[in-house]
């Protein structure tokens, strides 16, 4: 006998069961499973004929195929992993798609049928992919392996891994295909010095060896996109130019983050100059993807924070740069008026512009949070009629977490739109710079901290000056964005940050700790590290005076940070003085104040580091 009484009569129960059964059946039908997921377009790529557009739908694990005559999605290619980057063979027969996960792959897809013909294990979170000039090799940027995998497209095997600097995020072939330019997303090294900036790596595609690193101006970070001119003579890199050496007391005229485009001479492998994409009184936050029209007339750039696209007269840009004397050229990275008369800013209909593909007439921009593509006429004498290509049949309501992620990356929250929360916290982690915030005085800059587990590990900020992350979120809106926003915005950002999950370390082996790391775990306990960094959060949630603080902070206690994802949050210590974990455990561990490590031999030290890098 069924003694459970749910208060439903028999007919009502039968109706409910029928509905549940139908929903289950619909969810199992091909093409309908996941139909209510956010599409989150990240990358876009058109074929040479300009008739088909491929769209990497990042959170839907699919590539949408769009017919550009009708601006309609005609079919989808389902993938096991989130797509990160796209490349198309010269004959448009083969589509290459990166699967962005810790066990990342390169998918080889028959473009006509959508059938997957091969998949190649390439590395941790592969993103950008480009094909060699002859098509016999595919170059894949592995974000968290800090390398570029070279895939032989005949055998579909990795033939070489080329180390680059830090978090390679974008690739471009230049100089007739003889050079591969790699945008490294973040700076490396200590952050307490006078100069810190991300670099662009250059790889010789014949020898498959790095041949140069091009330094960008001081404060460059968040290198999201790179492209080459059609003639291969120049390379363009979109990034943030942080004014980290100034106190964060105001936003006007770019006193904090400015948004920039660096121009490189491809053949000479050198920086030509860096121009600002902002206007004098209006920022153009979070530049993402640059692209040149095939006829070389325009250079286009998407802005993820302000939901725009910049259309720049490319020949006029180079003419203006060439006409400068040495003194005037040196002032360009600080000149908010340099692009006046050369650039048109176009507001997009959606939110969160990301990837970009252009032909001579139209720029197609992925609108990540809008689940759509914006088709922007490049030349217009009057009003631009921007088409919105919907990727979802119906608009899906925003969850609180999705809304929070959108607001975190939205510079519309900010006074004059100079920056978003994501400007200093790309992917809600770190920009590898020190910032002189106002919350603990002026003249004592601190290293940017990751937002991961921030709500679970109070207090927050390096000196623990905020009691909890909720307080810090609201203070950030008020004192870093210089804005007054409704409480519901802060609540949504809280929800997003609380929902963040750690990314598996690239130092794991098959998803598990190596034998060396397991030995390092024992050393971690024996050296006393676990006392202040106990599992599972790897922090005791306390402040400790360790003798590190300098200058006006001398003698102050510092917050014990979580060690989760420590592999991706360099540099270390509250002021970023330790470039590596080895530096932190040796050079910057006076009197064994944060772990009894001075007596460790080389093997034990390596094993301890292996454990930390696995967290």
Q: How many CB atoms lie within 10 A of CB 27?
A: 12
Residue 126 lies in a domain: no
Residue found by looking up tokens 């003194």 in the block? 327
Q: What is the pLDDT of residues 476-523, one digit of tens each?
A: 999 999 999 999 999 999 999 999 999 999 999 999 999 999 999 999
Residue 290 has pLDDT above 90, yes or no: yes
Q: Are 296 and 230 in contact (CB under 8 A)?
A: yes
Residues 459 and 550 in one domain: no
Residue 287 has pLDDT above 70, yes or no: yes
Q: Which residues span the domain enclosing 544?
A: 515-614
Residue 449 lies in a domain: yes
For the chain, the maximum distance between any two Cα atoms, rounded to a whole number of angstroms, is 93
Mean pLDDT of the chain: 93
Residues 540 and 601 in one domain: yes
pLDDT-derived band at 31 (thresholds 50, 70, 90) equals very low
Range from 192-196, 369-373, 455-459, 594-598 carrying the lowest mean pLDDT:
594-598
Q: What is the pLDDT of residues 568-578, one digit of tens each?
A: 999 999 999 99
Residue 561 lies in a domain: yes
Buried/exposed 113-137: b ≥16 CB within 10 Å, e otherwise? eeebebbbebbbbbbbbbbbeeeeb
Mean predicted confidence (pLDDT) in 363-385: 93
Residue 523 lies in a domain: yes
Residues 536 and 487 in one domain: no
Determine the pLDDT at residue 383.
83
Of 435, 457, 456, give the one whose Cα is nearest residue 446.
435
Residue 381 lies in a domain: no
Asked which of 499, 524, 552 is the last residue of a domain, the reply is 499
Residues 480 and 548 in one domain: no
Mean predicted confidence (pLDDT) in 137-163: 98
Determine the pLDDT at residue 253.
81
Residues 545 and 480 in one domain: no
Determine the pLDDT at residue 36.
61
Q: Are 235 and 178 in contact (CB under 8 A)?
A: no
Asked which of 466, 499, 532 is the last residue of a domain, the reply is 499
Report the C-alpha gap between 69 and 369 in whole angstroms: 24
CATH number at residue 582: 1.10.760.10
Asked which of 443, 469, 499 is the last residue of a domain, the reply is 499
Percentage, residues of the chain above pLDDT 70: 94
Q: How many domains does the chain have?
A: 2
Q: What is the 3-state secondary structure (H, E, C) of 345-363?
A: EEECCCCCEEEEEECCCEE
Q: What is the pLDDT of residues 223-245, one digit of tens each?
A: 999 999 999 999 999 999 999 99
Residue 8 has pLDDT above 70, yes or no: no
Determine the pLDDT at residue 279.
97
Residue 477 lies in a domain: yes
From the centroid of its chain, how far is CA 469?
22
Residues 489 and 528 in one domain: no
pTM for the whole structure: 0.93
Residue 87 CB contacts under 8 Å (≥ 6 apart), including other chains: 45, 95, 96, 129, 130, 131, 138
Of 354, 375, 358, give the one whose Cα is nearest residue 366.
354
Mean predicted confidence (pLDDT) in 28-42: 62
Residues 488 and 405 in one domain: yes
Residue 540 lies in a domain: yes
Residues 443 and 489 in one domain: yes
pLDDT-derived band at 11 (thresholds 50, 70, 90) equals very low
Determine the pLDDT at residue 441.
85
pLDDT-derived band at 30 (thresholds 50, 70, 90) equals very low
Residues 587 and 526 in one domain: yes
Residue 455 lies in a domain: yes
Residues 491 and 527 in one domain: no
Range from 173-187, 260-274, 303-317, 381-395 carrying the lowest mean pLDDT:
381-395
Buried/exposed 340-364: b ≥16 CB within 10 Å, e otherwise? eebbbbbebebbbbbbbbbbeebbb
């Amino acid at each position: 006998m069924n003694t459970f009484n749910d208060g439903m009569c028999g007919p009502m129960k039968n109706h409910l069961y029928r509905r549940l059964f139908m929903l289950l059946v619909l969810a199992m039908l091909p093409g309908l499973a996941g139909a209510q997921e956010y599409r989150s377009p990240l990358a876009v790529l058109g074929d040479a004929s300009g008739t088909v557009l491929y769209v990497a739908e990042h959170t839907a694990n699919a590539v949408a195929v769009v017919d550009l005559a009708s601006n309609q999605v005609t079919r989808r290619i389902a993938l096991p992993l989130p797509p990160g980057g796209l490349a198309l063979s010269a004959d448009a027969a083969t589509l290459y798609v990166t699967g962005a996960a810790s066990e990342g792959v390169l998918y080889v897809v028959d473009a006509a049928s959508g059938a997957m013909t091969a998949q190649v294990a390439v590395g941790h979170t592969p993103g950008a992919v480009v094909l060699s000039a002859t098509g016999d090799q595919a170059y894949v940027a592995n974000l968290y392996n800090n390398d570029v995998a070279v895939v032989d497209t005949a055998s579909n095997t990795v033939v070489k891994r080329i180390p680059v600097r830090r978090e390679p995020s974008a690739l471009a072939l230049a100089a007739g295909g003889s050079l591969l330019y790699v945008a490294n997303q973040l700076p490396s090294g200590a952050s307490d010095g006078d100069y810190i900036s991300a670099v662009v790596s250059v790889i010789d595609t014949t020898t498959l060896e790095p041949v140069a690193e091009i330094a960008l101006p001081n404060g460059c970070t968040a290198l999201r996109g790179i492209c080459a001119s059609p003639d291969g003579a120049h390379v363009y890199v979109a990034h943030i130019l942080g004014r980290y050496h100034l106190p964060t007391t105001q936003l006007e005229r770019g006193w904090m983050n400015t948004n920039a485009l660096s121009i490189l001479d491809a053949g000479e492998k050198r920086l030509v100059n860096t121009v600002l994409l902002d206007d004098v009184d209006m920022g153009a936050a979070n530049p993402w993807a640059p692209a040149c029209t095939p006829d070389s007339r325009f250079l286009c750039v998407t802005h993820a924070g302000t939901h725009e696209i910049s259309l720049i007269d490319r020949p006029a840009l180079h003419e203006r740069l060439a006409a400068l004397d040495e003194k005037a050229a040196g002032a360009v990275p600080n000149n908010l008026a340099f692009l006046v008369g050369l650039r048109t800013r176009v507001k997009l209909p959606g939110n969160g512009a990301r990837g970009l593909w252009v032909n001579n007439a139209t720029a197609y921009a992925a609108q990540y949070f809008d689940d759509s593509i914006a088709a922007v006429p490049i030349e217009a004498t009057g009003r631009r009629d921007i088409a919105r290509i919907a990727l979802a049949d119906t608009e899906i309501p925003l969850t609180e977490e999705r809304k929070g992620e959108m607001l975190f990356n939205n510079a519309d929250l900010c006074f004059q739109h100079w920056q978003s929360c994501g400007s200093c916290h790309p992917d809600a982690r770190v920009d590898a710079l020190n910032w002189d915030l106002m919350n603990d005085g002026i003249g004592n800059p601190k290293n940017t901290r990751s937002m991961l587990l921030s709500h679970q590990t109070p207090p927050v900020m390096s000196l623990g000056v905020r009691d909890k992350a909720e307080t810090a979120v609201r203070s950030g809106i008020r004192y870093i964005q210089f804005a007054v926003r409704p409480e519901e915005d802060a609540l949504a950002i809280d929800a997003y940050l609380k929902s963040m999950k750690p990314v598996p370390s690239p130092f794991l082996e098959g998803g598990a700790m190596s034998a060396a790391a397991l030995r390092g775990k024992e050393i971690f306990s024996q050296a006393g590290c676990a006392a202040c960094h106990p599992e599972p959060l790897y922090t005791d949630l306390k402040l400790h005076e360790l003798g590190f603080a300098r200058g006006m902070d001398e003698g102050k206690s510092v917050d014990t940070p979580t060690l989760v994802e420590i592999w991706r949050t360099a540099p270390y210590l509250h002021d970023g003085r330790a470039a590596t974990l080895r530096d932190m455990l040796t050079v910057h561990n006076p009197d064994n104040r944060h772990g009894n490590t001075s007596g460790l031999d080389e093997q034990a030290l390596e094993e301890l580091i292996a454990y930390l890098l696995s967290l």
